[in-house]
Amino acid sequence: MRAQKFFLTGVAGFIGSNLLEALLEEGHEVIGLDNFSTGSQINLDHVKGKVGEKWKNFKFFEMDLASLKEDVLNDNSSGVTCCIHLAALGSVPRSIDNPINTNNANIQGFLNILDFARRHKLNKFIFASSSSVYGDNSNLPKIENHIGNPLSPYALTKRVDEMYAEVFHKVYNYPTIGLRFFNVFGPRQNPDGDYAAVIPRWLKAMKENTEINIYGDGETTRDFCYIQNAIEAIMLAIKTELKTHEIFNVAVGAQTSLNTIANTIKKELSIYGIKYSKEFNYMDFRAGDVRASEADITKAKNTLGYVPKIKCLDGIKQYVKDNMLRK
């Protein structure tokens, strides 16, 4: 892929910082935006340490997309061909606790950057959606055109984003690609806070030999997707010649239970001499949670050439290894 220049929102976050690293390593230029609501300077510093002199191709602006500073973007938009929008307030529980903040970040922020990209005639707009849009549709595997009713404010915001993208294609003929990520995990994922994802949170707790909470009986399943698979999907979306509006599932295409995840982390840590001695603490199911999730990735495979190279448990092993070596 020839060198390009990108706008990348959510650049200091988990997925964003991993994508930043991949883009810089390939020789691209990146204009990164983040307000540090969930991202961190630590993630950016880690990328800087890995890419060396290629860091000069990155420029960062601290910015809240809900109150977009268009003058800053205007001054730096020359040569930009694509906008990759990853910024969002994630977490179903967070959205239930504060739906207003989630709406402002995920809908107003999305619309602001989408319309900026359209008006400035960027060739492509790629954005992060979520498996949460499948809502109360219990059919498995999840297929892109069969969704249910949203079960949380977060799920609703992601569905509205998809609808805006579709309307922008119909009304303005503006090409958009939405990637429905399923439970992405890996390096630079924040383990701290009430809304942290289970894998980094459990890994930290087991290293510290503190209690972990499992909501339900532990047989709840998710289609956990290692970060490198997600980055590969984004890179393929960048390369595609599609000029329409499309939505793609991004996952592995297999279910893994929470019990399996917890036991695998425990086993992998034992390789490094860490023995977790606590019993798992099983709690009531949380509002907004679904019992099972598994993606059909046929569309992404056939259209983008997406084939996940790292299965869930292999990703867990790699994540634990990276975490132990990094610390």
Q: Distance between CA 23 and CA 239 in Å, rounded?
A: 12
Question: Exposure pattern of 106-121 as b/e (b: 16+ CB <10 Å)?
Answer: bbbbbbbbbbbbbeee
Active-site choice (154, 276, 306, 319): 154
Q: Are strands 58-62 and 80-85 parallel, antiparallel or unpaired?
A: unpaired
Residue 179 near residue 248, CB atoms below 8 Å? yes
Q: Distance between CA 252 and CA 322 in Å, rounded?
A: 21
Nearest to 300 by CA among 230, 228, 227: 230
Residue 154: active-site member: yes
Q: Which residues are catalytic?
A: 154
